[in-house]
Chain A
């Protein structure tokens, strides 16, 4: 069995933003009892011993944890690559300098659009101006900056302006990722899924920008898998390369897996290595033995690993089925119906914002 390369540390699900595309779980209240500093430090040490090289400090908003610099320096002392994934709210100069000194290697800042009115509406709070200021601070301190933009029906037409913003902010990378439909995004899917025409236009803009920015900025563009012929190779295969630890210590093969009807695994009760190698949750879909047809006899089974287990579960109620995104899946009609609805002319659906705090139902 291979060792994992990356640990996604979801330090908290609290967040000052309330984006409707959030992939955090809908039942946030289950995650209010957060790991302590010492528990997180133990998790980081155990992850390093297991072979983890990259630590992603994420959430929710990870800056809401006062101990984030302490956790970053634990990772730095072990030689891990530390990546901060933030809304940038709370990234004051003092805080940024503290994190830079603690060895955070790279910062990813989210923006919701290219300008304040749309960005703030999607984020559910005035935040755009502070984000832009924080991006400038990140660059001023000599950090590499990635601008993260989740794309969906309500902002994808602005992709050209988003790229110009990234350029103006001198971002080293820009990640333009279409929404993945988990958590709150699943609940809001029909209002978020773009039309084919929107995607085609976006793709043209991206490919022109790639040519223009070659050598200056890395442009990463992630298509919505609902429009793909084959599913995404989710997480590089179940329990193969990555693991996630949720704020309450739950360990997951992917950040969306908490919804699956599988036994829990927690760092509060077991060492990380045992969870990775032996737990029923991590063993459930490891390798190719579990696969149904058409995956089992498919020559792409080691390419896309049957797609995403969480998506299979959300769409069919059975996590062990072929990801319905695949055109070979017997359930592909479910995806086709959603795509058809997204292309049935204009519609304005209301987005349900996620709550800020974990105490709200």
Chain B
């Protein structure tokens, strides 16, 4: 798995009115939990998945590699994330 980045049509925003993180697309609003938002904030087109996992481990106690990879694959399948060869 290579380098993930947010798809060009989506924006990651903090929704102040509801105090939650959301991914915005032209017709969609995906509400994110804290962990999902933490992963997506690191999807900057620079860091590899391995680097993202390492960085999450600096902040969170239990980071299961398979969970992060699985989450990113699901986000890619929904066109929210693009994964390029790093």
Which residues on A are within 8 Å of B, measured CB to CB?
Answer: 3, 5-6, 49-51, 53-54, 79, 81, 83, 105-106, 108, 142-144, 146, 172-173, 218
Task: Say if the beta carbon of B22 comes within 8 Å of chain A.
Answer: yes
Task: Say if the beta carbon of B18 comes within 8 Å of chain A.
Answer: yes
Task: Say if the beta carbon of B74 comes within 8 Å of chain A.
Answer: no
- Smallest CB-CB separation from B76: which chain A residue? A215
In angstroms, how far is the closest chain B Cβ from the Cβ of A220? 8
A241 to B22 alpha-carbon distance, docked (Å) = 15
In angstroms, how far is the closest chain B Cβ from the Cβ of A2? 9
Contact A83 B26 (CB under 8 A): yes
A51 to B13 alpha-carbon distance, docked (Å) = 13
If the complex has contacts A105-B11, A172-B9, are A146 and B26 also in contact, measured as CB distance less than 8 A?
yes
Contact B18 A172 (CB under 8 A): no
If the complex has contacts A51-B17, A53-B22, are A5 and B29 also in contact, measured as CB distance less than 8 A?
yes
Residue total for B at the interface (Cβ-Cβ under 8 A)? 15
Contact B17 A54 (CB under 8 A): no
- CB-defined contacts of B24 to chain A, threshold 8 Å: 53-54, 81, 105
Task: Say if the beta carbon of B57 comes within 8 Å of chain A.
Answer: no
Name B1-60 residues within 8 Å CB distance of A. 7-9, 11, 13-15, 17-18, 22, 24-26, 29
Contact B17 A50 (CB under 8 A): yes
A5 to B11 alpha-carbon distance, docked (Å) = 14
Contact B18 A54 (CB under 8 A): no
A105 to B27 alpha-carbon distance, docked (Å) = 12
The 10 closest A-B pairs by CB, nearest first: A144-B9, A51-B17, A81-B24, A106-B26, A144-B8, A83-B26, A5-B29, A218-B79, A106-B9, A81-B11
